[in-house]
């Protein structure tokens, strides 16, 4: 019991320190719940926090998706380009999505075509992603994006 009492202050002191990983997990869960499940763009800042972390740790493909969720398509383009340079070909989809959101249909089509060429079975990726992006971006046209993939 005496040992426990000696250790207790250390445990309590340690509990006061901020938990960076805990905050990241919370941000990811909030982002996915509010943006993906509910389409609530007022919570996009949660996605920015998580996307920035992913970008800093060089998980560029995933960062690109979370930047799209964070309503930051320009940052999504930057991250997607880095991901592609690292061989993450699925990021061509995010690149195309971001270009389409920004109104650059020619660049979007080129990116989608490269995605189709390099990945092959694109249906697995796009079904869910296009639905989510259509819900959070008024100017994302999923049907137009699908046509660009053909």
Q: Which domains does the chain have, with CATH numbers?
A: 20-149 (1.25.40)
Alpha-carbon distance 126 to 66, whole Å? 15
The Cα-based distances of 97 to 22, 50, 88 in angstroms read: 30, 19, 16
- Reduced to 3 states, what is the DSSP secondary structure of residue 87? coil
pLDDT tens digits in sequence order for the chain, 150 residues long: 445 444 534 444 444 445 566 788 888 898 898 888 999 999 999 899 999 999 999 999 999 999 999 999 999 999 999 999 999 999 999 999 999 999 999 999 999 999 999 988 777 778 899 999 999 999 999 999 999 988
pLDDT for residue 18: 55
Spatial CB neighbours of 148, under 8 Å, sequence gap ≥ 6 = 96, 100, 105, 108, 109, 112, 113
């Amino acid at each position: 019991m005496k040992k426990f009492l000696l250790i207790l202050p250390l445990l309590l002191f340690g509990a006061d320190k901020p938990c960076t990983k805990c905050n990241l997990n919370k941000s990811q869960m909030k982002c996915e719940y509010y943006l993906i499940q509910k389409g609530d763009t007022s919570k996009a800042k949660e996605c920015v926090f998580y996307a920035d972390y992913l970008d800093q740790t060089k998980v560029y493909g995933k960062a690109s998706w979370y930047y799209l969720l964070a309503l930051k398509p320009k940052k999504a383009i930057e991250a997607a380009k880095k991901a592609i340079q690292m061989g993450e070909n699925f990021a061509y989809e995010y690149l195309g999505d971001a270009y389409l959101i920004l109104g650059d249909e020619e660049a979007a089509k080129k990116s989608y075509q490269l995605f189709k060429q390099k990945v092959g079975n694109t249906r697995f990726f796009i079904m869910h992603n296009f639905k989510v992006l259509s819900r959070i971006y008024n100017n994302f046209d999923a049907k137009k994006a699908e046509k660009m993939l053909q």
